[in-house]
Amino acid sequence: MPSLTAQLSAIFGDAFASLGLDPSFGAVVVSSRPELAPYQCNGALGAAKAAGRPPRELAEAVVAAIDAPGVIGATSVAGPGFINIDVTPDHLGATVDEMRSDASLGVEQPGRAAKVIVDYGGANVAKALHVGHLRPAIIGEAIKRTLCFAGADAVGDVHLGDWGMSIGQLIAHLRELHPDWPYFDREATGPFPEESPVSVADLEHLYPEAAARYKVDAEFAARARRATVELQEGRPGYRALWQHFCDVSIEDMKAVYGDLNVSFELWYGESRVHDRIAPMIERIRAAGALEESDGALIVDVAEPDDTKEIPPLLLVKSDGGYLYGTTDLATVEERVDDLHAEAAYYVVDARQALHFEQVFRAARKAGIAPESVVLEHDPFGTVNGADGKPMRTRDGDLPGLRSLIAAAVERAEQRLAENDLATEYPEAERHAIAKKVGIAALKYGDLQNHRTSDYVFDLDRFVSFEGKTGPYLLYSAVRIQSILRNARERALVPGTVLPPVHDAERGLMLRLVRFPDVLARAVDFRSPNHLAEYAYEVATDFNRFYEACHILSEPDPSRQASWLGLVEVTLRLLRTLLDLLAIDVPERM
RNA sequence: GCCCGCGUAGCUCAGGGGAUAGAGCAACUGCCUCCUAAGCAGUAGGCCGCAGGUUCGAAUCCUGCCGCGGGCGCCA
């Protein structure tokens, strides 16, 4: 069923059409003056010129042409020609009741699920996840879940950095530290030990050491480059060692991502497309898109009507090596040809905008991705410290994701203790609650910002139990659960949602029925903050209703059942919203 | 230099060409014999960076300027 605003828009569109005007003028939106009416139609102002009559008069004519007594309540024309619109209480109640019985809460499902890849990892093998991986993980997971809820077949790809120079550096470094390891015997073909000779903790200090040496020691750098090439050519010992790096890193990443409720369907890495690069380059050559420039192979992606200078995409360096653009292009090819993706969304740092512009243009020019496949960079801003600059530790490093999560959970635990909350629960449950509260705080602190904005990371603010925070949302959801639990104990059963009788009740209902529109916005803009904002509004409207209408002591049984029905659908919506944001709700707090 | 993004309340941030620009925090005032007060109600706080333009109507679209951040071929 179409959303309420879609229904209203159709009704007003018909009215405009009956006057010989374009039905698009009938668009009905949520009112900017809710004290006057919940909805408004501003089409008369825009249509006045085409209609050749004053906007107010036209608005009157539109209102007169409306014939939907069961749906449209009071209408009035205000100001220069705004049409204020109310819906009948009956229709509002019925709409909420339909939402209650609908598995997707009123969201229309497409006939066919489009295959979509969401690329939102960007983690690197042998390097610990850090603050830079926080936003793609949180935002990407939310986008993926939102697309799925809207009926797409969306899968997440971590797109691991597992194949670059950093691996060569590590190999070269380890080779000096442990020349006796079997992996370094050029003749050895295996089998090699199954147990990794290095742990994640080892890698976390080995990699910075190797990278530092690479910068200052030219001979070491040459050995690292050589190791990279040999790895990519398939030297068995190097491959075996590399596989260990990947295995221990991925295991560790899964734990950290898991704490954030982030999971990937595809754990593909850059290495995966290595073998298709050479054929791809021939394909590009055959398409006439390949050029040589200063000894390198490039694709010139500039267009005649460009307002800015777009440098060519470099595919093969003058020394024969590949670059990350090469890998990304090959990944596009795999997604189109093998995964049959209809769209690929890249949830990647805004600073990579030019890179994606180049890769996508090259993909079009070389015929790797047809125009019908959507390739889109969905950028996000930086996570800043209190000074407004990208977050750093005291030593100037990027803070680790694991420590950020631990800090959030610890802070949540402190708050619980300070406020004497959840003290009567068992210790284990208390800790589990603190974990959910801390993670929710961290995630909501991020998700309430628009994707492209930079934001200030202020843990104290995020874990605050007052105001627009993750904990507030969890508290609201838990309080709703508590009502339904109490109702069950009293053998009270939720029933048909009736037309509202109380302002707060009506306000909540009007909020709930917006869900399909809000979801559509989140989908269209790939912006979870619309859902985050809406979840807060739902919670707030519920809390108002909760204050105004005492559900469990309501004497009228059908009214009480209706309210329980409303409570039930509110909970389902709130839990759905939080689930789309990948935020877990505890049973109680 | 060229290009991209941002500039909204003391602070942190929302904001979809529409009426009187919102929220949270901080400040101030109320509300627990009642379903979880991690709540609710209220007060106060604004040349939406500046100047033009388009439009019946601009925080929103366009141009210029100022300020901040970022990007710009063999790193990722």
> Residue A574 in 3-state DSSP?
helix
In the structure, how far is the CA atom of residue A387 from the C1' atom of nucleotide B31, in angstroms? 39
Look at A423 and A356; give whichever has higher pLDDT. A356
Provide the CA A144 distance to its chain's centre, in angstroms: 6
Which pLDDT score, from 0 to 100, does residue A321 have?
87
The yes-or-no answer to whether A4-87 and A401-580 have a common fold is no
pLDDT at A92 over 90: yes
DSSP H or E stretch at residue A439: helix A427-447
From A374, A417, A384, select the one nearest A524 (Cα to Cα).
Answer: A374
Retrieve residue A9's tokens: 């828009």
Q: For the domain A401-580, what is the CATH superfamily, name and number?
A: Isoleucyl-tRNA Synthetase; Domain 1 (1.10.730.10)
Retrieve residue A336's tokens: 């189109």
Query: Which residue approaches B18 most closely, CA to C1'?
Result: A42
A274 is near strand B: CB distance < 7 Å: no
Query: Which residue approaches B19 most closely, CA to C1'?
Result: A79
A589 is near strand B: CB distance < 7 Å: yes
Q: For the domain A4-87, what is the CATH superfamily, name and number?
A: Arginyl tRNA synthetase N-terminal domain (3.30.1360.70)
Which pLDDT score, from 0 to 100, does residue A307 have?
75
CA A448-A450-A455 angle, to 5 degrees, is 80
Which residues 2 to 61 of A reach strand B, CB within 7 A? Answer: 5, 29-33, 35-37, 40, 42, 45-46, 49, 55
- Residue extents of the structural domains in chain A: 4-87, 165-259, 401-580
- The DSSP symbol for A186 reads T
Neighbouring C-beta atoms of residue A236, cutoff 10 Å: 16
Which pLDDT score, from 0 to 100, does residue A121 have?
84
Q: What is the pLDDT of residues A103-125, one digit of tens each?
A: 999 999 999 999 999 999 889 99
From A144, A121, A145, select the one nearest A133 (Cα to Cα).
Answer: A121
pLDDT at A379 over 90: yes
Using the structure block, give the residue that is written with the tokens 């040589």. A292
Which pLDDT score, from 0 to 100, does residue A16 have?
96
Dihedrals phi, psi of A40, to nearest 5 degrees: -145, 155
Position A396 confidence tier, pLDDT thresholds 50, 70, 90: confident
pLDDT at A89 over 90: yes
pTM of the model: 0.97
Which residues 66 to 125 of A reach strand B, CB within 7 A? Answer: 78-80, 82, 84, 124
- For residue A69, cis peptide bond before it (omega within 30 degrees of 0): no
Q: Which nucleotide is nearest to A164 (CA to C1')?
A: B76
Longest dimension (CA), chain A: 91
DSSP per-residue letters across A478-541: HHHHHHHHHHHHTT----PPPPP-SHHHHHHHHHHTTHHHHHHHHHHHT-THHHHHHHHHHHHH
Which pLDDT score, from 0 to 100, does residue A101 have?
96
Which pLDDT score, from 0 to 100, does residue A420 have?
87
